[in-house]
Amino acid sequence: MQTDSTGIRQATLDALSSWPRRRDRLPEDRADLLAAAWWAGNRNVAELARAADTSRDTVYSDLRSRGIDPQARFTPAGPRPRYAPLRFETVDELASLMSSVLLPPVLREKPGPLESAAWQLQKAMDRIADLLGPDKSRTTHTPAENAEDLAATLGYAQQYAHAYWASLETSAELAARAAQSAVDRVEEHALIDGATLTVGLPNAQSITVTLGSASYREPNTGWTTMATDSPLLSTDLDGPDHLAIRAALDAIGEVLTKHLAATALLHEGATPCPDCAGRGLDDREEACRSCGGTGWRE
């Protein structure tokens, strides 16, 4: 992972300065956790005190501070309260905690893919905090720029995850997993079996690249293939390459699936469901169990 020395220096200072804020929030965090445990059905105060390593008096005080009557332990729990939505302060605190935990392994000369993926997730939490509180953010970027960086950062985390995944399995195992994934999803999703791309080059030329996967009659069934007539592109793919291309094609398939007509996902020979005739789409799912609300029978 490439690390900028200036950015790392600032990250270490930010992590250090976040410690007093985390320390001061500990009692508030404890009260929140005790309230959550209470609403989850844990009504034994002594048990809560042991779990929190605190006194029963503290548990009583914390519960009352969250609007809970500890004496009502046998009262049936009503609807769980809706907790406050994400706030800048809480996510910023989480990002700072992640930074303090992750900086030591990241400062190695060559961090591994798991350390690098985790660091990208920490950066993603920073961006989420920036988006939650643009007026409190320490960056000078616009919300749109921070959202773009959030998406890019999660993409980098995925690349490191692919690198680690590929280190665990052979190409044959990765290919078999891809083939099985296609079989599992073929009933309900559009699958991208291949794609032909026009790739623009910096010299204003372009080349045509065809992506696909090895068929069931070929060795390494499910392995990603790449072909081109151009000598400018090597078509040898390693494990991370295979996973990255497969993930990109799957993402395209998910987008296309959302836009498909319902009939596109039906098996050949499906017929209209007579029980749904004349019913609106909103009524079908509840009114007809024989077709699952699709309006068609296989």
**DSSP codes of every residue in 119-142:** HHHHHHHHHHHHHH-TTT-SS---
Sign of CA dihedral 242, 247, 249, 253: positive
Tens digits of residue pLDDT in 220-269:
889 999 999 999 999 999 999 999 999 999 999 999 988 888 777 766 65
**Ranges assigned E (strand) in 42-151:** none
**From CA 98, how far away is CA 87, in angstroms rounded?**
17
Question: Poorest-confidence range of 109-113, 206-210, 267-271?
Answer: 267-271
Question: Tens of pLDDT along 117-158?
Answer: 999 999 999 999 999 999 988 888 999 999 999 999 999 999
- What are the residue boundaries of the structural domains of the chain, listed by start? 5-160, 178-259, 266-297
Count of positions (residues) in the chain: 298
Half-sphere exposure of 241 (CA within 13 A, CB side): 13
Residues with Cβ within 8 Å of 137's Cβ and at least 6 positions away in sequence, in order, are: 88, 129, 130, 146
Other beta carbons within 10 angstroms of residue 206's beta carbon come to: 12
pLDDT at 290 over 70: no
pLDDT higher than threshold 70 for residue 185: yes
Residue-level pLDDT at 272: 61
* Tokens of residue 133, six digits: 């509180």
Rounded distance, CA 93 to CA 212, Å? 44
* Terminal-residue alpha carbon distance, the chain: 51
pTM of this prediction exceeds 0.85: no
Mean pLDDT of 156-166: 97
Q: Give me the pLDDT at residue 288, please.
A: 59
Cα–Cα dist 146/130, whole Å = 7
The single-letter code of the amino acid at 123 is K
Cβ pair 26, 51 in contact under 8 A: no
Sequence-separated (6 or more) residues with CB below 8 Å from residue 156: 120
Whole-number Å distance between alpha carbons of 252 and 221: 21
Q: HSE of 3 in the Cβ direction (CA atoms, 13 Å)?
A: 24
Residue whose entry in the numeric block shows the structure tokens 């836009």: 259
Query: Binning pLDDT at 50, 70 and 90, where does residue 280 land?
Result: very low
* Residue percentage of the chain with pLDDT more than 90: 46
Task: Quick: pLDDT tens for 91-109.
Answer: 988 898 898 888 888 887 7
Cα separation of 169 and 270, whole Å?
A: 40
- The pLDDT, as a whole number, for residue 282 is 46
Residue pLDDT, tens place only, 31-90: 888 888 888 888 899 999 999 999 999 999 999 998 888 888 776 655 566 566 788 988
Q: What is the pLDDT of residue 109?
A: 79
- pLDDT for 292: 56
